Structure 1
Amino acid sequence: MVDPRLSIYRGTGEPHDDIAALSPPPPWRVFTGEVTSAPVTPTTPGARPTAEARARVYRPSSEVVHMVNVALCLRRPLLVTGKPGTGKSTLAFSVAHELKLGPVLYWPIGSHSKLGDALYRYDAIGRLQEAGMRGGAAPPDIGRFVRLGPLGTALLPGERPRVLLIDELDKSDIDLPNDLLNVFEEGQFDIPELSRLPDDHLEVRVMTEDPGRSATITRGQVCCRAFPFVVITSNGEREFPTAFLRRCQQVNIQQPDSEKLAEIVAGHLGPEALEETRELVARFVERRDRGDLATDQLLNAVYLAVSGAKSDPATREQLVDRLIQPLDGPG
């Protein structure tokens, strides 16, 4: 029998409150941030509606479910690999939706992504400009010019973890994975512009990544209480340092088989659409065995096939067939 403390996430798409039953963290992953703000709820502004809709019908494999629960239990990031279109990013939204952990904090990675920008941004020029406009009056509140980034917001102390999606880390500068190590290990960071303030400014209210929400920072320190559930996706285009991999749990999402594809089609477009296009699903699987095809290509093709688009059946069939051509050449 599976320990219920290791089956908090089930991958069913049905929200529940069992996150409260999550086992205590290991002694080496206990964080001490003091909760000072109201919890973030699923209705907090900032949710991405299309992603939430995908999360409700997302059905991960049993291996993925197990590794999500391991990462939750050990308070470690989850490094998710797999081909494009296998649902790596959607996994983060699925966990947030099912466990009622609020909107996913999203950090898309590019070649110029820096750790500092994901932690916080300080608009020093904007503050200087406003101070100049005030003349000799008191300088403007510094908190109005500090905004926590997605990683910084994820590390705010809360009773429940936030979900942070670090998308396509393999696109990053070579140093970024190593730069993340200390933050992942310590669960905290410092904002020097605030920690240098005099004692009569120990607490500063700053903006966060959540629209319209602010947070109180004491002595310039941000320290989590519940370590965030961090999903890091990679398309396998590069290798990561051993020290980075050691601090992550890892799972590879396989391409869905015929049965899983049928569930995906039915979940997104309804059982009637699946019944009308079973031959199309079979054709997709056959071509995927010979070339590179993503699941969203099948969903687009099924939708076009059953949507009643204004074209004669022969033309529509040609368009549908074109939508499931392998991305790496003719199928």
Structure 2
Amino acid sequence: MQFTGTEHYIADKDLMVAVNAAIRLERPLLVKGEPGTGKTELARQVAESLGLRLIEWNVKSTTKAQQGLYEYDAVSRLRDSQLGDERVHDIKNYIRKGKLWEAFDSGEKVVLLIDEIDKADIEFPNDLLQELDRMEFHVYETNETVKAKVRPIVIITSNNEKELPDAFLRRCFFHYIRFPDADTLARIVEVHYPGIKKRLLSEALSRFFEIRDMSGLKKKPSTSEALDWIRLLVADDVEPETLAASDKNALPKLHGALLKNEQDVHLFERLAFMARREMR
């Protein structure tokens, strides 16, 4: 079982090594990187490449680790008991399986994505240590132990919003997805927009990296934002010469796809104003 990327996902050598090492070690793959660098998409493409089903657990700030295992709906059971419903005699009717249970209970190998684990409480990763390590957990309400029939490939993503516990990190294979260089980003763009004009792509990426390298930006534009921006340039039939001639301190054309807060917009406006004053 070897991941070599797909025609829809450009994976560099280090990333492919990390995925395959995690599979061989049978450890979760912890993937960090800037938002928009393809961490979530990696899990989808690993599943597609290996012909496996993908189970996604999207973590939120309110998510608890227990929800990934199961939830006991005591309120529904109480209501049904008051209504005289026969279902109340079997507690299993009120056990809701979580994503980990779904993955463990599958009769075949699956890819389990735990997406944006750093959004949850700091105790969330610690609460999953034993389950991810032993690939089993106990259901106290029914006194049964759920064990993984086939060990899933576990991919965990983090945007680095908070530090993860050392005990959790020790159990993972780690990879940081670096922001792609110009050549790699060009290949990514060509995958999404085959047939794009070479000159337009070259000028767009040149302008994009100028923006990313600008000092003082609160949020640098990501890969996904570059793709959105270039899509708009293609749709508006923007000429490469227009991008080449633009002032690097001026607001970029269709800047709403790249700049996502007023502080960065104001930065460009101030730089453009100062440049005009110096020309007088």
* TM-score (norm: length of structure 2): 0.80
For 1:323, the equivalent position in structure 2 comes to 257
1:92 aligns with 2:43: yes
Give yes or no for contact 2:80–2:87 (8 Å, CA) kept in 1: no
Residue 152 of structure 1: aligned partner: 101
Letter in 1 for 2:254: V
Counterpart of 1:277?
A: 201
1:236 aligns with 2:198: no
Partner of 1:83: 34
Q: How far apart are the structure 1 equivalents of 2:172 and 2:213?
A: 31
Equivalenced residue count is 250
Aligned to 2:127: 179
Confirm or deny that 1:142 pairs with 2:91.
Answer: yes
2:130 aligned counterpart, secondary structure: helix
Contact 1:168 1:232 in 2 (8 A): yes
Query: Are the counterparts in 2 of residues 280 and 302 from structure 1 also a CA contact under 8 Å?
Result: yes
Residue matched to 1:205? none
- Equivalent residue number for residue 113 of structure 1: 63
Q: Deviations over 1:262-319 (max 9, x none)?
A: 111111122235654331122112222234121111111111111248xxx98xx964
CA distance in 2, matches of 1:100, 1:182: 28
Amino acid at match of 1:293: P
Long gaps (5+) in structure 1? 14-56, 196-219
Matched letter for residue 145 of structure 1: Y
Structure 1 counterpart of 2:83: 133
Aligned pair partner of 1:245 in 157, 165, 169: 169
Change (3 A) 1:307 1:140: farther
Q: 1:170 aligns with which of 107, 118, 134?
A: 118
Match of 2:140 among 185, 192, 195: 192
Distance 2:63 2:172 in 1: 20
2: CA distance, partners of 1:252 / 1:172? 20
Determine the structure 2 residue equivalent to 1:16.
Answer: none
Q: Larger Rg: 1 or 2?
A: 2
Separation in 1, partners of 2:12, 2:172: 19
Measured on the aligned residues, the alpha-carbon RMSD in Å equals 2.5
Say if 2:104 and 2:146, in contact at 8 Å, map to a contact too.
Answer: yes
Q: Which 5+ residue runs of structure 2 have no aligned equivalent?
A: 243-250, 269-280
In 2, Cα distance between the equivalents of 1:145 and 1:191? 12
Q: Partner letter of residue 306 of structure 1?
A: V
CA shift, 1:140, in A, is 5.4
Change over 3 Å in CA distance of 1:268–1:227 after alignment to 2: same
CA contact (8 A) 1:157 1:223 kept: no
SS in 2 for 1:65: helix
Change (3 A) 1:130 1:265: same
Greater share of residues in helix: 2
1:283-322 matches, cutoff 5 A: 283-290=207-214, 291=217, 292-308=220-236, 319-322=253-256
- Give the CA deviation at 1:138: 6.7
Q: Percent identity?
A: 37
Runs of 4+ in 1 over 6 A off after TM superposition: none
**Alpha-carbon separation, structure 2, partners of 1:275 and 1:193:** 64
CA apart distance, 1:111: 3.0
Q: CA deviation at 1:245?
A: 1.0
Distance 2:227 2:206 in 1: 13
